Amino acid sequence: MLKFIGVFLAAALAGLSAGAIATGTTPLTLFERAALSGPTTRVAGGTPWDETFFPNVPVQTHDGRTLRFYDDLVRNKIVVVNFIYTSCSNICPLVTSRLALVKDMLGDRVGRDIFFLSISIDPLNDSPATLKKYAETYRAGPGWTFITGDPEHMDVLRAKLGERSSVKAEHRNDIMIGNDRIGRWGRDSAFSNIEVLAETIQEFDPAWIKPIPERIETSALPANYSLHDKPGSFLFAKACGGCHSIGHGDIVGPDLAGVLERRDHQWLRRFLREPDRMRAEKDPLTVELDEKYPGAKMPNLNLSNSDVDDLFAYLSSQGVSAASASGGAKVEAAPPTAPSHAH
């Protein structure tokens, strides 16, 4: 369920005036920096989520431009906003890869009607050049802007958008969706069904009409069609499909066609469960994969042994089902259309 954003009166909560905060020697907290960013009162006839709420601070983009956050990136636009940092080794790659799938599903509306904004919470290390490489890794393309800037400006931006974590690894991983023109804002999860999330974003456009789904006649389905997912298919869609294909080439990470034949099963099982530990141990194959796919290091997904069993079963079934369809020749099949990670 979407949760609509509230307005925060940070200076009042802190018990300090903006002037006292600005001239004091104590470092500014995120709440205090949000208070300094401008008024948050409702404009007559408007909404609380307009230019009086959003900071219009200067930011730098991954393609080297210096822009004003509100004037240039939000005003009169439909935007999808999330927070990342490029050295993140767990949730950021997953969220970014899933947003890439959403972007692909939205097609040419991204960059025309809908705009993605990924805001770095680590501006000291995430330079425009670093963000550009990150954007290229995830096939960002036109309409998706990665943002960094002066740390104080970025702190103001984070606080006003509800991201107030003091530890990078604990930052918000949900997404904001908004239509500035009509003042409608909400939150959703990047781990929602990809098709549903794409529809949710488009619903922020009052002119968008949801297409009527095409009816599928039962008689047209293959004789062996099953309404029940194969074991591991849902997990693959949620955790792997954004970075990997099966038989359709590398995406962000490697193609997983034949991975059960290429890799030792004991090694692969451990890699799926604790890639971070294998990375710390300098496991040679893990190091090789990280060097080949530097922007898509396998995160620790906290998989159980049964999760790994299901992924093995799904990967195996994809090869077997494709081989049956091709008269016995082993051909790897594509992953399910519903989308995000396993090398």
Distance CA 329, CA 58 (A): 57
List the one residue out of 170, 89, 139 whose CA is nearest residue 242.
139
User: What pLDDT is recorded for position 146?
Assistant: 98
Among all chains, which residue has been given the structure tokens 């799904």?
314
The CA R_g of the chain, rounded to the nearest whole Å, is 22
What residues are paired with 116 via a beta bridge?
80, 144
Distance CA 268, CA 336 (A): 22
Token code pair at residue 105: 């599903």
User: Do the strands 184-188 and 144-148 form a parallel or antiparallel pair, or are they unpaired?
Assistant: unpaired
Token code pair at residue 138: 């995830």
Measured in degrees and rounded to the nearest 5, phi and psi for residue 280 equal -65, -30
The number of residues making up the chain comes to: 343
User: What pLDDT is recorded for position 28?
Assistant: 41
Distances (CA, A) of 26 to 21, 37, 249: 8, 18, 53
What residues are paired with 67 via a beta bridge?
59
Strand order in the sheet with 175-179: 66-68, 58-61, 144-148, 114-120, 78-84, 175-179, 184-188
* pTM reported for the whole predicted model: 0.64
**Distance from the Cα of residue 202 to its chain's centroid:** 17
DSSP assignment letter at 78: E
Distance CA 213, CA 211 (A): 6
How do the pLDDT tens digits run along the chain, 343 residues long? 333 333 332 332 233 222 222 323 334 444 444 443 443 334 444 567 777 889 999 999 999 999 999 999 999 999 999 999 999 877 888 899 899 999 999 999 999 999 999 999 999 999 999 999 999 988 899 999 999 999 999 999 999 998 888 888 788 889 999 999 999 999 999 888 889 999 999 999 999 988 876 665 555 545 554 545 567 777 777 777 777 778 878 777 788 888 888 889 999 899 888 888 888 899 999 888 888 877 677 878 788 888 888 888 888 888 644 444 444 444 333 443 333 344 4
User: What pLDDT is recorded for position 315?
Assistant: 85
Distance CA 320, CA 325 (A): 9
Distance CA 135, CA 144 (A): 8
User: What pLDDT is recorded for position 222?
Assistant: 53
Domains 10-202 and 231-325 equal at CATH topology level: no
Query: Architecture of 10-202 per CATH?
Result: 3-Layer(aba) Sandwich (3.40)
List the one residue out of 126, 129, 140 whose CA is nearest residue 168.
126
Domain 231-325 fold is Cytochrome Bc1 Complex; Chain D, domain 2 (1.10.760)
User: What pLDDT is recorded for position 84?
Assistant: 93
DSSP assignment letter at 252: S
Within 221-304, residue ranges assigned H as helices are 233-239, 259-262, 265-273, 275-280, 284-292
* Segments making up each domain of the chain, as ranges: 10-202, 231-325
Token code pair at residue 72: 């240039």
List the one residue out of 156, 291, 313 whose CA is nearest residue 230.
313
